[in-house]
Amino acid sequence: MQRQKGFTLIELVVVIIILGILAVTAAPKFINLQSDARKSTLDGMKGAIQGANSLVYSKAAISGEETKGSADASTTGSVNIGTENPAATNYGYLQSTAAELINAMDLNISNDEDDTVDWYIAEGDDGAKSAQLYQAGSARFGNTTAATNKCYVTYTPATSTTATPTYVVTDDDC
């Protein structure tokens, strides 16, 4: 009589259990993709603002507008960037208002969370102060005062002719 070769029921159960254990330990790595995507999107927004600022500053330097500005953005420069409206600048860099970022970057952004847009901005007192940009659906959306809303990009325009803008990604709670 010839004996058939194959797996026994116990061997199959052991393999299934091992695969189950591996799936349970590996699943959290793949389940957290939304958080990783939000973090990457914030890095992309930071890069987009930096790129736009490089181009705007180059145009400001060519036209002699890079020295115009003030700590409260009451004195500003103006640069033609090929859009309908010239970009208002502070020391040659974009101001931190929704209007200027929309003008220079063609963003879908608002400072009112009742609007249905992709990005929101918490503007400072004026275009020379820091602003926080956050994505719809992020931890910051609808939660601007809680301590656990750290998922945004902070853009601070230049404050003098010797200072450059700063861009900080805060992604603790994405």
In a domain? residue 2:
no
What is the tally of structural domains in the chain? 1
In a domain? residue 125:
yes
Q: What is the CA radius of gyration of the chain?
A: 25
In a domain? residue 40:
yes
In a domain? residue 9:
no
Residue 1 binned pLDDT confidence (cut-offs 50, 70, 90): low
In a domain? residue 3:
no
In a domain? residue 84:
yes
- Helix axis angle, 33-63 to 98-105, nearest 10°: 80
In a domain? residue 5:
no
In a domain? residue 8:
no
Residue 144 binned pLDDT confidence (cut-offs 50, 70, 90): low
Give the position of tokens 């963003």. Answer: 107
Domain hosting residue 29, numbered range? 14-170
Tens of pLDDT, residue by residue over 32-78, are: 788 888 899 999 999 999 999 999 999 999 999 999 988 877 888 89
